Amino acid sequence: MIWPLVALTLPSFAVLVRHILKKRSAVRKHYAPIVDISAEDMFHNPRAAYEKALKDHGPVIGVRRKGRLEYIVDEELSHTILTSDSILSFEEGAATILNFHYVLHYFESFFGDLDDLVRNVIAARLPQIVENVFPVFANHVKDYMNLPLEPTKNNQAKIFNNAHEVDICTLASKSISESMVLTILGPKFVNEKNLDIVRHVAEELAVAGGMYTNTSLIGRTFPGTWRMFTWTRVLFTSIRLFCLAIGPQVWKELRLYRHMFENKAQFEGELEQNENILLFLTRKNMRQEHSSGKRTSDLALFLRVMIVILGLEMFSDFTDSHSIIFASIHQTSSIVVWIVFEIACRPEYLPSLREELFRNANIDPIDNSPMATYQALQDAEHLDSFIREVLRTKGDTLSLCRKSTQDVTIGGCIIPKGYLVMPLATRSHLSPKYHGPDASEFNGTRWVSTDKRAVKLSASYFPFGLGRWACPGRTLAVAEIKMIVWSIICQATPVLKGNSYRITDPLNITSVPPVGEMSFIPFSG
């Protein structure tokens, strides 16, 4: 009697055993290996540590860093990671890495609003923006060059005879802050008090966004506590100060623009002439009201606009080291430091850069400051090539990220839902497969007479991201860098003490600039 029963149940039992064995095999075969990388290697020699781990265990590995498990992929999978938007979320990844969850929770359209704003207002008005802000950069450099030379404590001249010691990061952040306030808010907001507040808030938001956690022992050891404390401090000090100082001015402008839109026939000419970001946001809100039939309160519009402005302060025109669509004033300043330091270390490139400058720009015969159009900046292919080569070779590692929205299979490995996924940028940027046998060498003219501009992205070069969420403001970012560089080399020769600089955070090279003692030697052409 038992044998018929066995005969009936045996096939089902066999299927069950086969399913269990298959599942266990799949787990062993497909889940990415978790690799232990020591804190010493991770924070002081990350490129070598991550590249070795990928070589030994890749193409996908899991690594625990600052209290969370992250997945890293090699160069063959970079394009897949950065362009698979349906399964790997940019917004979720950016909010996680920058500690910005609450913005995404309460303002779901935050990143979309920023993206829309940069694409449809900033990028569309680049020629006009360059014309408006170029004098800002030239004037800031001129102010530095007009400062009196002061002897050091031992009564010797600073670093070089007749040279001006310069904090290049401060010079860049001051000029970029003024440029962005002029572009985002308009000339009414450009005054010393507002500019100081904007610079302070941009730097504080960079801190709150986690850009300095690698250099903080507390930030590395207790990341959750550090994030909570830092955001609380920034929210109740810097952001509060920004809202109290800038908020009333924004409120006044928004109410004025709403009145103008509600009486469009009367103010049509003025609306067309005064296009700016506040006006754009008001127009967008009015269109949404018209389509929905519901009027947004002035307070709701004000709060939404202030959040977007703070986002632009933080992520205005460059992609940051963690794949946000726009980098901060702080971020672009960091890139400027890299470019100018490299020019100082490689003076053999200065003649061609200056020849290009004098050919394309108009030079003021009195103060030797430059002025040029956006098209002239576009034609500066030697400077463009130099910028692209610096961005390619400076050593970005985990510079972009996404977050899995479901269990996904990448490179034959399963990445569970809810985890950060990052390409190791150096594997692509310095790959001989993509860039030839001299890929690891710096060649400032490598991209001259090619179609590969500093803003053109691919699987082999993605300092501004890649795919749908590639930085839409990267053209303005590179234009700002060119304006600063031209303003400097037209009036001075940048020189570094010892012809060298020091990297303070190898794991976050994009966000934390290198340090060095820089001077400007006056140049008259």
| Residue 174, pLDDT score | 93
Tokens of 93: 């990844």
CA distance 185 to 177: 11
Model confidence at 327, pLDDT cuts 50, 70, 90, reads very low
pLDDT of residue 29: 53
Radius of gyration of the chain (CA): 26
* Burial (Cβ within 10 Å: 0-12, 13-18, ≥19) of residue 513: buried
3-state secondary structure of 71: strand
CA distances from 179 to 87, 166, 503 (A): 37, 20, 27
pLDDT value of residue 261: 80
The whole-angstrom separation of Cα 370 and Cα 138 is 7
pLDDT above 70 covers what percent of the chain?
82
Q: Which residues touch 196 (CB under 8 Å, ≥6 apart)?
A: none
pLDDT score of 429 more than 80: yes
In angstroms, the CA 516 to CA 384 distance is 24
- Is residue 325 over pLDDT 50? no
Residue 315 confidence (pLDDT): 47
Stated as kind and residue range, the H or E segment containing 332 is helix 329-345
Give the number of other CB atoms < 10 A from CB of residue 405: 16
Q: Which of 109-118, 143-152, 241-250 has the highest mean pLDDT?
A: 241-250
Helix, strand, or coil (residue 411):
coil
Q: In what order do the strands lie in the sheet with 518-522?
A: 164-166, 518-522, 492-496
pLDDT in tens, 148-163: 765 544 343 344 456 7
Residue 370, φ and ψ in degrees, nearest 5 = -95, 160
What pTM value is reported for the model?
0.86
Range 435-446 burial, b when 16+ CB lie within 10 A, else e: beeebeebbbeb
What pairs with residue 495 in β-bridges?
Answer: 519
Q: Token pair 């012809």 is at which residue?
A: 499
Predicted confidence band of residue 18 (pLDDT cuts 50, 70, 90) = low
Beta strands in 408-507 (DSSP E): 408-410, 413-415, 420-423, 492-496
Hey, what are 339's tokens?
Answer: 């470019």
Angle between helices 168-184 and 192-208 (to 10 degrees): 110
Predicted local confidence at residue 383, as pLDDT: 98
Whether the CB-CB separation of 142 and 495 falls below 8 Å is answered with no
CA dihedral 363, 364, 368, 371 (to 10 degrees): -50
In this structure, what is the dihedral angle of CA atoms 486, 490, 491, 492, given to the nearest 10 degrees?
80
Does 181 have pLDDT greater than 50?
Answer: yes
Report CA 276 to chain centroid distance, whole Å. Answer: 23
Q: Please, which residues bridge with residue 88 across strands?
A: 404
Q: Distance (Å, rounded) from C-alpha 342 to C-alpha 240?
A: 38
- What pLDDT, on the 0 to 100 scale, is given for residue 317? 34
Q: Using one digit for the tens of pLDDT, what is the confidence trace for 279-314?
A: 877 887 788 777 888 888 888 888 878 877 776 555
Instruction: Give the residue from 298, 313, 281, 273 showing the smallest Cα distance to 189.
Output: 313
Largest CA distance in the chain: 111
More confident residue, 413 or 468: 413
The reported pLDDT for the residue numbered 107 is 54
> Average pLDDT, stretch 363-374?
87
* pLDDT higher than 60, residue 382: yes
Question: What six digits make up the tokens of 94?
Answer: 């950016």
Q: Which two tokens stand for residue 190?
A: 């450009």
Residue 1 pLDDT more than 80?
no
- Hey, CA dihedral for 275, 281, 286, 290, is it positive or negative? positive
Quote the tokens at residue 300.
């709701």
Looking at 161-175, 253-267, 365-379, 500-514, which range is the least confident one? 253-267
